[in-house]
A and B are shown apart, each in its own frame.
Chain A
Amino acid sequence: MKQETTQVLYGLYNDEEVLLHAVKKAKEDYLDIMDVYSPFPVHGLDNVLGLSESRIHVAGFIYGLIGALTAFLFMTWVFTRDWPIIFGGKPYFSAPSFIPITFEVTVLFASVGMVVTFYTICGMGPGVTNPTLDDRITDDKFCIAFDVNDANESQQSALRKFFDETGAEEVNVKTI
């Protein structure tokens, strides 16, 4: 866990459409946004922020593939090599009857794997506390935050001007 703290200059907006315009303007002015926070996912925000697409579904696919192979190959090994038993006169390698369990294990591995991956890469987990800028962000406020640790006076006032022009309701500084 990193102990270093950052000074953050953030502005709170009341509406997601105002937020989107503000983020667009910030990108146009080449301002380096640290993060944007909202009480719900804002559509269009990812594109405007230039966030790269999440590849969590790729991870999900790989986990699913591992699950499928694990289940199918295990059952095949059990019934062809380890202890072959004749069930209902069917062949030892009865692929059709292996399908239901293979499918279930695929879904299980994919889901559990993706969820664990999600919390890991987001730095979340049971009992984890991540610093938050304002309690109202999970209620009804939208926030753009800039890292101002190494910012001089003129850079800070430029950011404050940006917040003023784009209609931020409040502007604050916090160390997190």
Chain B
Amino acid sequence: MSAPISAIREPLITGSKSYHTITEDICGPTERTPTTAWVIAFIVAVTGLALYVFSVTWTIWVGIGSWNLNRTINWGWDITNFVWWVGIGHAGTLISAILLLFRQKWRTGVNRAAEAMTIFAVMCAGQFPLIHMGRLWLGFFIFPYPNTRGPLWVNFNSPLLWDVFAISTYFTVSLLFWYTGLVPDFATVRDRANGLRRKIYNFVSFGWTGSAKHWQRWESLSLVLAGLATPLVLSVHTIVSFDFATSVIPGWHTTIFPPYFVAGAIFSGFAMVQTLMIMTRKVLKLEDYITLEHIDSMNKVILATGSIVGVAYLTELFIAWYSGYIYEQFAFYNRVMGPYFWSYIGMMGCNVISPQIFWSKKMRRSILVTFFMSIFINIGMWFERFVIIASTLARDYLPSSWSYYSPTWVEVSLFIGTLGLFSTLYLVFMRVAPVVAVSEIKGILKTGGDQYVGPNASHGHSHHDSANH
């Protein structure tokens, strides 16, 4: 607040808000009966959730034979979906944690919803490793607990186990980080409520009072959690990439995978955040808090990470040629010209070519373009994981083992079902919790509100004099 604000900065909060109108605007949707749009969306989402429950039950009852995995292509839609969901989750942590460390104030419009997205995405992701085991009821074997079989321990050297620790830790830490931020906002809803609502929000707000000492500790905690969550995000997707990189399969056994996967995760995650934010701001009428400036900034990140991903693809192709290693060369020849060439085209088109549209400021600030682009990007990123997994496994070292894979209705239903699970959770979140970080937005009102900053500023705080303090 004592730092001077540049006169050319765009405002982050429009509509000349006061602290009270911020509370009203953001807490209001949790107090009113849901709109028709929400109800329709909820019905669709719950249908998806029902499909999910059915598919999971079918898979466990009938067995993994109800999927089309075979000995050659032993990972198909299951692991593709797993990596897709985990990648999406990473943007939430990036927005909350990394942008906090970089002191980017614009994160406050989108961080709460993005963190919620992370938690729900990780929940969806975690379904696949659990279910693809087949004997889910023995799933506890993967944890190192003292047992009477030796004790027989798990293989700590295996990336598949590192995944178990990484995803569990990532889920726990994201949940804690998200909830820490939610406590003061739940207290705000609590203090506006009566009766049963008050009791419920009192329970979940943990006795928050707004005391200065508690805020001090809260800020310190948030900063340290952000500092921990940042390397955690990078490590989790690196460990996921190790599932492939530590193998000997051509096209998988490459050191480019950790940065390639992490950049791709940020790319698809931000695209999903855009999809959710564009819908949320419209339905909950929060355009003053999730402004075009936010959409623009996120599109810039999408452009940057999409280009990194594009460069990674070209690097892979170059190194395959330069290495002179015939199996690596064939792996990429197969991706482009083999039986799954259509997924490679989808991947290149959606991930590399289409985001270049965001070089244009007009396109970055267009809601329609952003919405469709965000869907394309997520489709493209799904294709990327499919290309890496299914098309590579289909044609590895031994031609007599070559095979083809296409999903059964069970696998497709399971994927659509997780979309239903994710949507249901997100819609419930929108209904019961403030989707924008109320206290944090209030904290940036004086430096980001349009009555203080930007072309229409009436209070001249852009020339704030630090000598007063």
Let me know if B206 and A100 touch, CB within 8 A: no
Question: B228 — nearest CB in chain A belongs to which residue?
Answer: A107
User: In the complex, A78 Cα to B440 Cα: how many Å?
Assistant: 46
Shortest beta-carbon distance, B235 to chain A, in Å? 6
Q: B282 → chain A, closest Cβ, in Å?
A: 26
State the B residues within 8 Å of A (CB): 1-2, 18-20, 23, 144, 150-153, 155-159, 161-162, 165-166, 168-169, 172-173, 176-177, 180, 183-184, 187-188, 190-192, 202-204, 206-221, 224-225, 228, 231-232, 235, 239, 242, 439-440, 442-443, 469
B153 touches A82 (CB 8 A): yes
Q: Which residue of B is nearest A106, CB measured?
A: B228
Tell me, in angstroms, the Cα distance from A79 to B152 when the chains sit together.
11
- The answer to whether A56 touches B212 (Cβ under 8 A) is no
Residue in A37, A128, A140 whose CB lies within 8 Å of B206: A128
A111 close to B225 (CB less than 8 A): yes
A residues 31-88 near B (Cβ < 8 Å) are 35-46, 49, 51, 54, 56-57, 60, 64, 74-75, 78-79, 82-83, 85, 87-88
Residues of A within 8 A of B159 (CB): 100
**B221, A132: Cβ atoms under 8 Å?**
no
Q: Which of B153, B161, B439, B469 contacts A40 (CB 8 A)?
A: B439
Residues of A within 8 A of B187 (CB): 138
Complex Cα distance, B145 from A78, in Å, reads 12
Give Cα distance in the complex from A107 to B206, angstroms: 24
Given A75-B156, A132-B209, A139-B23, check contact A105 B191 (CB 8 Å): no
- Alpha-carbon distance between A64 and B120 when the two chains are bound, in angstroms: 26
Provide the residues of chain B in CB contact with A94, threshold 8 Å: 157
Given contacts A41-B216, A78-B153, contact A139 B169 (CB under 8 A): no
Contact A45 B212, beta carbon cutoff 8 Å: yes
- 6 additional A-B pairs beyond A37-B209, A41-B215, A112-B176, beta carbons within 8 Å, are A57-B220, A87-B158, A115-B225, A124-B183, A130-B207, A140-B19
The CA of A42 and the CA of B177, in the complex, are separated in Å by 21
Is B210's CB under 8 angstroms from A137's CB? yes
User: Cβ of B19 and Cβ of A139 under 8 Å apart?
Assistant: yes
B207 & A128 in contact (Cβ 8 Å cutoff): yes
Q: Residues of B contacting A36 with CB < 8 Å?
A: 211-212
Across the two chains, which residue of chain B brings its CB closest to A145? B211
Smallest CB gap from A49: residue in B? B212
Interface of B is mostly: helix
A41 touches which of B20, B150, B176, B443 (Cβ 8 Å): B443
B169 touches A138 (CB 8 A): no
Size range of the chain A interface in the assembly: 35 or more
B250: min CB distance to chain A, Å: 19
Closest-by-CB residue of A relative to B163 is: A100
A17 to chain B, nearest CB (A): 8
Q: Which single member of A38, A44, A87 contacts B215 (CB below 8 Å)?
A: A38
Which residue of the partner chain, among A38, A56, A101, contacts B217 with CB atoms under 8 Å?
A56
Residues 93-126 of A, flagged 1 when their CB comes within 8 A of B and 0 if not, give: 0100110110111011011101100110111111
Q: Which residues of A contact B168 (CB under 8 A)?
A: 104, 108
Q: Contact between B191 and A139 (Cβ–Cβ < 8 Å)? A: yes
In the assembled complex, the CB of B4 is this many whole angstroms from the nearest CB of chain A, namely 15
Also in contact, A56 and B232, with CB within 8 A (given A39-B210, A51-B216, A139-B23):
no
Other-chain residue from A64, A112, A126, A143 in contact with B172 (beta carbon distance below 8 A): A112
Contacts of A46 in B (CB 8 A): 212, 216
Contact A110 B153 (CB under 8 A): no
Taken together as a complex, chains A and B put the C-alpha atoms of A112 and B203 apart, in Å, by: 20
Contact assessment for A135 and B157 in the assembled complex, using a CB-CB cutoff below 8 Å: no
Q: Which 7 A-B pairs have the closest CB atoms?
A: A140-B19, A128-B207, A135-B191, A41-B215, A130-B207, A40-B439, A97-B157
Please measure, in the bound complex, the distance between the C-alpha atom of A45 and the C-alpha atom of B218, giving whole angstroms. Answer: 14
A124 pairs with B206, CB closer than 8 A: yes
Q: Which residues of B contact A135 (CB under 8 A)?
A: 191-192
Q: Are B228 and A110 in contact (CB under 8 A)?
A: yes
Chain A residues positioned under 8 Å from B235 (CB to CB): 100, 103-104
Contact for B165 among A85, A105, A119, A126, CB less than 8 A: A105
